[in-house]
Amino acid sequence: MMLTVKPKNNLSSFTDSFFNDFFSFPKEDNFGLESKYDIIENENSFNIVANVPGFSKDDIKIEIVDNILSISAKLEEETNEENSVDNVKYIFKGRKESSFTKSFQLDNSIDAENISAEVKNGVLKLEIPKKAKEEPKRIEIKTA
């Protein structure tokens, strides 16, 4: 699943084109849950807020390769030795290994060096700052 984060002048046109042109919702993640994340734009940055219930900071990996921001997480299945009690057997075991990966295509207006992330109470927040706007450079014309 890919998405391109491209700033627009108008928030309405940004959200319209963002969701219509660049966003592909999967029917379900690798671990069987519907995708749950928001993408928010403000004057200086884009923010991604994603639900990552059950995943700790150490379970989550965020990388940028070739302008593609990837968020992945993996939970290992707990072994029986860690949670076993004598004479106990599982009747149902629904907490198995789970993982997911989300990828976002970033454009050149993003300051990839200063992306920050934090996770708290099962919510991952990324701040993706925009580069400062460059003013057009005026070229002086000389007379011959």
Most confident of 22-31, 75-84, 85-94, 120-129: 120-129
Is residue 65 situated within a structural domain? yes
Model's pTM, two decimal places? 0.64
The CATH number of the domain holding residue 23 is 2.60.40.790
d(CA 39, CA 51): 12
Give the model's pLDDT for residue 48. 94
- Is there a contact between 19 and 105 (Cβ–Cβ < 8 Å)? no
SS3 58: helix
Percent of the chain whose predicted confidence (pLDDT) is above 90? 36
Is residue 28 situated within a structural domain? yes
Give the model's pLDDT for residue 17. 44
Is residue 35 situated within a structural domain? yes
Does residue 133 surpass a pLDDT of 60?
yes
Give the model's pLDDT for residue 30. 45
Is residue 61 situated within a structural domain? yes
Give the model's pLDDT for residue 120. 95
Could you tell me which residue, 32 or 111, shows the higher pLDDT? 111
Is residue 71 situated within a structural domain? yes
- Look at residues 72, 76, 67, 74 and name the one whose alpha carbon lies nearest to residue 117: 72
d(CA 61, CA 76): 14
Percent of the chain whose predicted confidence (pLDDT) is above 70? 68
HSE-CB at 131 with a 13 A cutoff on CA atoms is 12
Give the model's pLDDT for residue 135. 85
Is residue 84 situated within a structural domain? no
Is residue 23 situated within a structural domain? yes
- Look at residues 120, 126, 144 and name the one whose alpha carbon lies nearest to residue 52: 120
Domain that holds residue 58: 4-78+90-129
Does residue 106 surpass a pLDDT of 80?
yes
Two structure tokens written together for 84: 């076993």
**Total domains in the fold of the chain:** 1
**Residue 84: pLDDT band by 50, 70, 90 thresholds?**
low
pLDDT in tens, 6-37: 443 444 444 444 444 444 444 344 444 445 88
Two structure tokens written together for 121: 């109470």
Is residue 32 situated within a structural domain? yes
- Is there a contact between 37 and 117 (Cβ–Cβ < 8 Å)? no
